[in-house]
């Protein structure tokens, strides 16, 4: 008998080695090499491909791009409009969607509600749970008020049984919770390993493309917040959406980071209640409902999340430091950007911040990563440093350059319309964005060229320049 060969595979990046190593040479992570049995090669390397009649008859021939039908696939619109927004307008038949998020954040709750909503539209849904029994799934369904005849639940981890169930049921949507529990008989490694996750995901991809079934797979996350398993997993799927939120807040944010059928960085807002997740139609009101009036270090920024304008409160606290190196802490914002903007304030405006600790926070738990919130960050820092409140009815937007200029931003008209809808009476914008769009009624537009000019117009009342 031939001797069984083994190899060591990194569970983070998929790097293979003949011997065990404490640190992976591919991703530099420690203690990620796991022993797996090496499957025999079906043929020798360099051998000519088989030219059997079966292979030739089943092969697809190249086709001219002009002959390919350009008709858009009809999307399956769900009753969850926030989910439709994130997916680009609804579920595309034959798509493979990866859903990630921290444990207990609400991934299973969201997908069970989605299953019930589609089953209520007389669509067949197959829910495969590898982590819960039938009774556990039923208890959660009762808590959410799920009552659907065409929602089929199956606790299973064997890939062969799952494939047969999909073939027999012929559902419009398949949900796998989670991909780390599914095991393929042809792969000898344990469930959740790189080989198992890769082969199982590849099987679901073939099912989705060949049978036109939409497949949602849940992926566990590492302690760093990324999807567990090989990075190839995110490349294989059509869409990657993350379910974000703080355990101490009831609001959850569904964010698309990859989408072959729509816009990326699109977000949907949900509120976690006892009866399940409830959609938030106007997130700006939620993020601003607890805002304090007349407090220094607070300003409202008009940000864009995908195609949706969102108004959020940016808070700053600047205080003298007791350490040799002052602290720079940002929650929901880029900490490196905070240090850069404080250096611009020192150099271009003359604020002595090198002996000050600075703490920045985005109220509500949302994360902002666009440069259009630079001006709001600077105004909040200056307001806290001078202990002078800003105008409570001001909304600011703009990118700050290293020379102190206020640079152009995108979609300024949508940001201003959202501000006017929520009762803001003045918007501070980059001068380069003035004109070319229709100003909404009831809001004053203040264009600014430089950072010093922006700080002057945002100072409250007539107390002068900061």
Cβ proximity of 228 and 108 under 8 Å: no
Is 299 among the annotated ligand-binding positions? no
The number of beta carbons lying within 10 Å of the beta carbon of residue 457 is 16
The tokens describing 213, both together, are: 């079934």
Is 101 among the annotated ligand-binding positions? yes
CA distance 244 to 320: 34
Secondary structure (3-state) at 418: helix
Q: Which residue has the tokens 């749970």?
A: 129
Burial tier of 442 (Cβ tally within 10 Å: 0-12, 13-18, 19+): exposed
- Closest among 443, 438, 440, 447 to 424, alpha carbons compared: 443
The number of beta carbons lying within 10 Å of the beta carbon of residue 148 is 17
Is 90 among the annotated ligand-binding positions? no
Q: Tell me the Ramachandran region of residue 364: left when phi exceeds 0, alpha when psi lies from -120 to 50, beta otherwise.
A: left
Is 107 among the annotated ligand-binding positions? yes
CA distance 314 to 44: 62
Instruction: Write the DSSP symbol of residue 306.
Output: T
Is 19 among the annotated ligand-binding positions? no
Is 461 among the annotated ligand-binding positions? no
CA distance 423 to 291: 14
Secondary structure (3-state) at 3: coil
Cα 155–Cα 158–Cα 160 angle in degrees, nearest 5: 120
Is 128 among the annotated ligand-binding positions? no
Cβ proximity of 355 and 349 under 8 Å: no
Name, in order, each residue with C-beta under 8 angstroms of 348's C-beta and a sequence gap of 6 or more.
Answer: 403, 404, 450, 451, 452
- Closest among 365, 396, 368 to 459, alpha carbons compared: 396
CA distance 269 to 250: 11
Is 108 among the annotated ligand-binding positions? yes
Cβ proximity of 287 and 386 under 8 Å: no
- Closest among 278, 315, 287 to 110, alpha carbons compared: 278
Indicate the annotated binding residues for ATP. Answer: 101-108
Indicate the annotated binding residues. Answer: 101-108
């Amino acid at each position: 008998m031939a001797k069984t060969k083994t190899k060591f595979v990194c569970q983070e990046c998929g790097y293979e080695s003949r011997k065990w190593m404490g640190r992976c040479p591919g991703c530099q992570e420690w203690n990620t090499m796991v022993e797996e049995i090496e499957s025999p090669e079906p043929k020798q390397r360099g051998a000519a491909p088989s030219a059997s009649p079966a292979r030739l008859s089943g092969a697809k021939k190249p086709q001219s791009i002009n002959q390919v039908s350009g008709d858009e696939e009809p999307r399956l619109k769900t009753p969850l409009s926030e989910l439709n927004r994130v997916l680009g307008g609804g579920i595309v038949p034959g798509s493979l969607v990866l859903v990630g998020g921290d444990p207990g954040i609400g991934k299973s709750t969201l997908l069970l509600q989605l299953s019930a909503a589609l089953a209520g539209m007389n669509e067949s849904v197959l829910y495969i749970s590898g982590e819960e029994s039938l009774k556990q799934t039923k208890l959660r369904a009762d808590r959410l008020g799920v009552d659907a005849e065409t929602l089929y639940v199956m606790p299973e981890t064997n890939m062969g049984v799952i494939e047969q169930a999909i073939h027999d049921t012929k559902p419009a949507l398949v949900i796998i919770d989670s991909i780390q529990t599914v095991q393929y008989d042809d792969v000898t490694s344990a469930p959740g390993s790189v080989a198992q996750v890769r082969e199982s995901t590849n099987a679901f991809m073939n099912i989705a493309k060949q049978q036109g079934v939409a497949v949602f797979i849940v992926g566990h996350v590492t302690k760093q917040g990324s999807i567990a398993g090989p990075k190839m997993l995110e490349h294989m799927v059509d869409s990657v959406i993350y379910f974000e939120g703080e355990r101490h807040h009831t609001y959850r944010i569904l964010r698309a980071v990859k989408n072959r059928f729509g816009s990326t960085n699109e977000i949907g807002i949900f509120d976690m209640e006892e009866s399940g997740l409830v959609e938030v139609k106007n997130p700006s009101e939620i993020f601003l409902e607890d805002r304090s009036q007349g407090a220094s270090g607070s300003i409202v920024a008009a940000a864009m999340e995908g195609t949706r304008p969102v108004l959020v409160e940016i808070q700053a606290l600047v205080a003298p430091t007791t350490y040799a190196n002052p602290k720079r802490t940002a929650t929901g914002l880029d900490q490196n950007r905070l240090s850069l903007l404080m250096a611009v304030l020192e150099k271009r405006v003359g604020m002595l911040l090198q002996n000050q600790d600075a703490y920045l926070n985005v109220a509500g738990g949302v994360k902002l990563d666009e440069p259009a919130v630079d001006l709001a960050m600077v105004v909040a820092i200056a307001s806290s440093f001078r202990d002078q409140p800003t105008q409570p009815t001001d909304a600011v937007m703009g990118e700050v350059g290293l020379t102190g200029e206020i640079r152009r931003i995108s979609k300024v008209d949508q940001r201003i319309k959202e501000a006017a809808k929520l009762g803001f009476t003045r918007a501070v914008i980059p001068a380069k964005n003035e004109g070319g769009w229709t100003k909404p009624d009831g809001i004053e537009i203040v264009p600014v060229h430089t950072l010093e000019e922006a700080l002057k117009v945002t100072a409250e009342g007539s107390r002068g320049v900061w």
